[in-house]
Amino acid sequence: MFVKEGIIASPGIAIAKAFVYEKIAVEVNKNKTDDTQAEIEKFHVALKLSHQQLESIRLKAIAELGEDEGAIFEAHAMVLDDPEFVEGVEAEINENQLSADFAVNVVTDRFYAIFDQMDDPYFSARAADIKDVGTRVQNNILGIVQADLSSLNEDVIIIADDLTPSDTAQMDKKRVMGFATNIGSRTSHTAIMARSLEIPAVLGLCDITDTVKTGDLMVVDGLTGKVCINPTNEQLASYENEKQKYQDYLKELEELKDLDAITLDGRKIELVGNIGEPNDVAGVLKNGGVGVGLYRTEFLYMNSDVMPSEEKQFAAYRSVLEAFPNGPVVIRTLDIGGDKKLPYLPMDNELNPFLGLRAIRLCLKEVGLFKTQLRAILRASIYGHAHIMFPMISSITEVRQAKAILFDCMKELDAEQVAYDKAVKVGVMIEIPSAAIAADIICKEVDFFSIGTNDLCQYTLAVDRMNQEVSYLYDPFNPAILRLIKQVTATSDKKENFFTGMCGEMAGDPAAAVLLLGLGLYEFSMSALAIPQIKKIIRSVRYEDAKVIAETALNLETGEEIMDFIQDAMKKLNINI
Amino acid sequence: MIKKEVTVLNATGLHARPASMFVQTAGKFKSKIFVIKDGNSINAKSIMGIMAGGISQGTTIEIQAEGEDEMEAVDALVQLINDKFGE
C-alpha cells in the first residue's frame, strides 16, 4: 500500500482497478531521404487517413459528449488543412531531405512552441491540439496503430502520462471511474473532461505510470488530491465511507439546488456566493446560489503585471452579470493595501497598514484608477443587476466622496452616449465599528449594507487573528459583535427598498445561521460549497423562533454562553449541523 | 492585387471562433490572401498563423488578395470583420 499526492482536478472518490494506458512512443526517423517524392506521397496519404479518423471521432464525440467536444476535432481538421502546416512539411522534405515523419515532427514542434509560450490557457489548449494532430499524422505515416480506450472489460481508473482529446473521445465512458496522470493542471484537457464526466481526477502525480500496474486496486480521492494504491482493508473501508458521504452530499445538493431559501413561516432569504474571478460563477450556480454577494475585484489587479484596462475589467464584470439574469451581483471596488499590494502601484510601508491607506481611502486618492474601475462596472451594469459596493467605509463623508466620483463617471458616459444602468444600486461594506455605530446616518446615502464580519471582529475586538498569541480573542459570537450586527439590521429595517447582507465567513457558518436569521439579516453571501447546508437550516426553522433565539442571545454575557445557548436551541428545534 | 484596411471590432479579436470563421471564409476563395499586421504578413488561410497573430480588438489590419476572385475575397473578409462575426 502507498499514497501519493497530486493536483485536484475533479472532485469525488473512485475505487476501482487501475488500467495503465501507455502509448507506443514514436521513434522519429532522422535519416536523410533520397526519394523526396515518395516522402511527400507518404505525407499526403497520412493526411487523408488522419482526416477520415478525425471525422469518425468527431461524430462519436458529438453523439456522446455534445457539439462543443465535437468542435475540438473540427479544429484538428483545420490544422490538417492549414497551408502553413502542409507547405511547411513539404518544404522540410524537399529542401532538407527529411523523412515525412521527421518533417511533421519539426513543423508541429515549431507551432507548438509558439502557442505554448503564450500566457493564456486558451492558447495552451491549442498547443496541445497541435501536438495531438502532429502525433496522429506521424503515427499514420509510420503505420503505428495506438491502443485505444474504446473497449474496456471492467470498471477502471485510467492511469496515463496525460490524456489528449483524441484519447478521451474514443474512451468507453461507462467503464471509466477516474483519472490519475503524471502531468496536467486544473485547466488541462484531462481536468476539463473529468469535470464534464463528473468523475474524480488527480493529476500532476509525476510518475504514477511507473508506480502502478494494470490490475492494482486503487483509490482516486479528488477531494483531498490523494491516490492510494493497493489500500489496506481498513483504508478501503474508510474510503468507502467517504465516498458514501460525498454521494449523500451530492444528493442533498441536487434536492436543494432549485428550492428557495425560505423559512417555515415564509421569510425569504437570499443566498449568494463570494467569488474572486468569473470562473468561480460555475460553483455558485451549481450549489444553488441566486447571485453574487461579494465579487472581490482585487484578483483582477493582483493577477496582472499592469493595471487592468477598462476593457478587460468590463469583460470580466459583464460575464459575471450575464450568469445571473435574475439575481444580484455585488461588485466590491478595489480593496487593496494593508497586506495586499500591487506590483505596479508603489505604496509606502506603513507602521499600521490595517489602519492606513487601503481600500476606499486609496481609491479616493488614486482617482484615475478608481474611475477606470467604476466606468467598467457602469458599462457592464446593463447586462444584469449590478450592485456597486465600497469597502472600508468609516463615515458618510467617504460615501459622499465616492459617490461624487461615481456621478462624474456617469456624466462622462452620458457625454460619450454610452449606456449604463442609471438605477445601479450603491452600497457599502460595514466592517469598521464606526460605520456600524453610525449605520442610521450612512444608510441615507446607500441602497444596501454588507457586513464584513472578519474585519469587523478584528477592529472591534482589537485583535489580529493571525497572531497566535491573541487569536483566541477573535470571536464573532462576542456579544459586542452581535449587538453591532443588530444595530445595523435594525437601522436598515426602517428604510424602504433597502437590505442588509453579510459577506464574512460568519455568513457561511452553520452554527451562526439561525442567530443571523433572527437578527434580521436578509442576504447571506458565502463560499459556494457552504450554500446547501445554510439553505437546509433556513428551510427547517421558523423566522419567529429565530427572532426569539436572537433576542435571548443578545442578553447573554459571553461568546461561549451564546454559542452554548444557540447549539442547545438548535437541538431543540431538531436542526442538526 | 486588391487591399483594404479594416479595424477589428469584436470583443475577442481574431481568436477562437472568429479565427476559424475568418480562415474558413478565406479558404472558400482561390486567390492568395494575406493579412498584414505591423508589417508582418500572415497567410489568411492558416488557422495557426491567424491565431498566433495576436490580432485583438481595436487592431487595424490590412487584407490583401491576389487572384481571379480577389475583389470578392477582400469584400467578404472585411464584411465579416465589420459585422463583428455575428457576435
Q: 3-class secondary structure for B43-84?
A: ECCCHHHHHHCCCCCCCEEEEEEECCCHHHHHHHHHHHHHCH
In this predicted structure, what is the pLDDT of residue A240? Answer: 96
Could you tell me if A336 and A285 lie in one domain?
yes
**Structural domain of residue A185, as residue ranges?**
9-20+152-168+175-233
Kindly report the CATH number assigned to the domain that includes residue A517. 3.20.20.60
CATH number of the domain at A83, please. 1.10.274.10
Task: Establish how many alpha carbons lie within 13 A of residue A188's alpha carbon, considering only the half-sphere containing its beta carbon.
Answer: 22
Q: What is the pLDDT of residue A85?
A: 94
- Cα distance between residue A135 and residue A510, in whole Å: 52
Query: Does residue A238 belong to any structural domain of this protein?
Result: no
Instruction: Please indicate if any CB of chain A lies within 8 Å of the CB of B21.
Output: no
Set of cell numbers at residue A167: 484519447
pLDDT of residue A104: 95
pLDDT of residue A304: 76
A219/A345 same-domain check? no
CATH number at A164 reads 3.50.30.10
**Rounded to whole angstroms, how far apart are CA atoms A556 and A563?**
10
Q: Which of B24, B27, B48 is facing A84, going by the closest CB pair? A: B48
Does residue A458 lie within any of the structural domains?
yes
Q: Which residues of B touch A85 (CB under 8 A)?
A: 46, 48
Do residues A132 and A164 both lie within one domain? no
Sign of CA dihedral A269, A274, A278, A281: negative
- The contacts of residue A65 (CB under 8 Å, 6+ apart) are A169, A196
In this prediction, residue A142 carries a pLDDT of: 92
A4 domain residue, yes or no:
no
Q: Using N-to-C axis directions, what is the helix angle for B70-82 and B16-27, rounded to 10°?
A: 160
> Domains in chain A: how many in total?
3
Q: Given this model, what pLDDT does residue A577 score?
A: 66
- Clarify whether residues A465 and A333 are in a common domain: yes
Handedness of CA A284, A290, A295, A300 (dihedral sign): positive
Distances, alpha carbon A244 to alpha carbons A29, A109, A250, in Å: 52, 46, 10
Length of chain B: 87
How is residue A264 written as a grid cell?
417555515
Confirm whether A96 is domain-assigned: yes
Q: How far apart are CA A340 and CA A335, in angstroms?
A: 8
Residue-level pLDDT at B56: 84
B22: domain CATH number? 3.30.1340.10
Q: What is the largest CA-CA distance in chain B?
A: 33
Domain with B7, as residue range(s), is 2-86
In the A/B pair of chains, how many CB contacts fall below 8 A?
39
Q: Cβ atoms within 10 A of the Cβ of A419, count?
A: 11
Instruction: Answer whether A78 touches B (CB < 8 Å).
Output: yes
One domain, residues A194 and A326: no
SS3 at position A328: strand
| Kind of pairing between the strands at A13-20 and A217-221 | antiparallel
Query: Which residues does chain A have within 8 Å of residue B20's beta carbon, measured at their own beta carbons?
Result: 74-75, 78
Asked if B17 and B86 count as a contact pair (C-beta separation under 8 A), the reply is no
Q: Which of A126, A309, A318, A383 to mutate to test the interface with B (most CBs of B within 10 A)?
A: A126
Does residue A239 lie within any of the structural domains?
no
Distance from CA of B45 to the nearest CA of A (A): 7
Under an 8 A CB cutoff, do B15 and A115 touch? no
Looking at the structure, tell me whether residues A214 and A339 fall in a common domain: no
Cell numbers for A224: 483531498
A84 touches chain B (CB under 8 A): yes
Q: What is the pLDDT of residues A170-218, one digit of tens each?
A: 888 889 999 999 998 877 778 888 888 889 999 999 999 999 999 999 9
What is the chain B residue with the closest CA to A86?
Answer: B46
A383 occurs within a structural domain: yes
Q: Are residues A223 and A333 in the same domain?
A: no
Closest CB from B11, B15, B48 relative to A82: B48
Q: Are residues A73 and A164 in the same domain?
A: no
CB contact under 8 A, B46 and A84: yes
- Note whether A138 and A157 are same-domain residues: no
Out of B15, B34, B37, B50, pick the active-site residue: B15
For chain A, list residues with pLDDT below 70: 119-121, 339, 577
Q: Does A55 touch chain B (CB under 8 A)?
A: no
Three cell numbers written together for A558: 459571553
Q: How many CA atoms lie within 13 A of A304 on its CB side?
A: 14
Instruction: Name every chain B residue with its beta carbon within 8 A of the beta carbon of A82.
Output: 45-49
Give CA separation, A539 vs A256, A261, A262, A307, A443, in Å: 10, 6, 5, 44, 30
- Which of A233, A264, A279 is at the close of a domain? A233
Residue A566 to residue A124: CA distance in whole angstroms: 51
The residue from A183, A204, A233 where one domain ends is A233
> Quick one: A29 and A16 in the same domain?
no
pLDDT at A60: 85
For residue A307, what is the DSSP state?
P
| A130 φ/ψ angles, rounded to the nearest 5 degrees | -65, -40
CA distance A518 to chain B (A): 46
Facing B52 at nearest CB: one of A75, A115, A311: A115
Sheet holding B2-7, edge to edge: B2-7, B60-66, B32-37, B40-43
- Regarding whether A29 and A14 lie in a shared domain, the answer is no
The reply to whether A226 falls in a domain is yes
* A83–B43 CB contact, under 8 Å: yes
Q: If 0-12 CB within 10 Å is exposed, 13-18 middle and 19+ buried, where does residue A36 land?
A: buried
Min Cα distance B34 → chain A (Å) is 12
Same domain, A273 and A328: yes
* The length of chain A, given as a count of residues: 577
Helix, strand or coil, per DSSP, at residue A420: coil
pLDDT reported for residue A121: 67
How many structural domains are present in chain B? 1
Alpha helices, H only, A143-217: 165-170, 189-197, 208-211
Q: Do B48 and A81 touch (CB under 8 A)?
A: no
Distance of CA A224 to CAs A9, A217, B59, Å? 10, 19, 45
Q: Report yes or no: A158 and A178 within 8 Å, Cβ to Cβ.
A: yes
This model of the complex carries an ipTM of: 0.87
- Which stretch of DSSP H or E encloses residue A547? helix A543-554
Query: What is the pLDDT confidence band of residue B87, given thresholds at 50, 70 and 90?
Result: low
Contacts of A175 (CB under 8 A, 6+ apart): A152, A153, A154, A155, A156
Query: Domain for residue A2, yes or no?
Result: no
Residue A133: CB atoms within 10 A of its CB come to 27
